Amino acid sequence: MIFSSRARILLASLAQVCLADVVEYTWEATWVSASPDGFTRPVIGINNVWPCPEIRAKKGDTIRVTLTNGLGNQTTGIHFHGINQISTAWMDGPSLVTQCPVPPGETIVYEYVVRRYPKSQRSMLWCS
């Protein structure tokens, strides 16, 4: 069976959509005692753990992170550094740049599709 180049592109796109998953995390930002530079002090962790967990997803997946600010005394947010936020710039997360910081006790749901990322960066970084 021979497909035209348009048909091949369409089939490839459909296959990518069909194989896409929703990658979901429920996180609470919490204070954790840790020593990232050798000196123990309170640092921001996720679900009482530091270093913070990683997000694993593939191109085409939808990432959904429900974040509750459990810090009690400080605003927070997640910055999805390194991910091209195509049509979802408000989900990139840097506080006071593309979104308001999340107040203590409040929850935000970040959701976006991983459409592409720089070839030199196979993983994303984030910080609270």
* Residues in contact with Cu ion by the rule CB under 5 A: 81
DSSP state of 102: B
State in angstroms the smallest separation of the CB of 31 from Cu ion.
23
Give me the DSSP letters along 10-72: HHHHHHHHHH--EEEEEEEEEEEEE-TTSS-EEEEEETTBSSPPP----TTPEEEEEEEE--S
State in angstroms the smallest separation of the CB of 12 from Cu ion.
30
State in angstroms the smallest separation of the CB of 7 from Cu ion.
38
Q: Among all residues, whose Cβ is closest to Cu ion? A: 81
Tokens 């506080």: give the residue: 95
Q: Which is nearer to Cu ion, 7 or 127 (CB)?
A: 127
Q: Which is nearer to Cu ion, 8 or 81 (CB)?
A: 81
State in angstroms the smallest separation of the CB of 97 from Cu ion.
9
Distances (CA, A) of 6 to 2, 16, 17, 96: 12, 15, 17, 43
Q: Which is nearer to Cu ion, 58 or 81 (CB)?
A: 81
Q: Which is nearer to Cu ion, 81 or 116 (CB)?
A: 81
By C-alpha distance, which of 20, 13, 91, 27 is closest to 62? 20
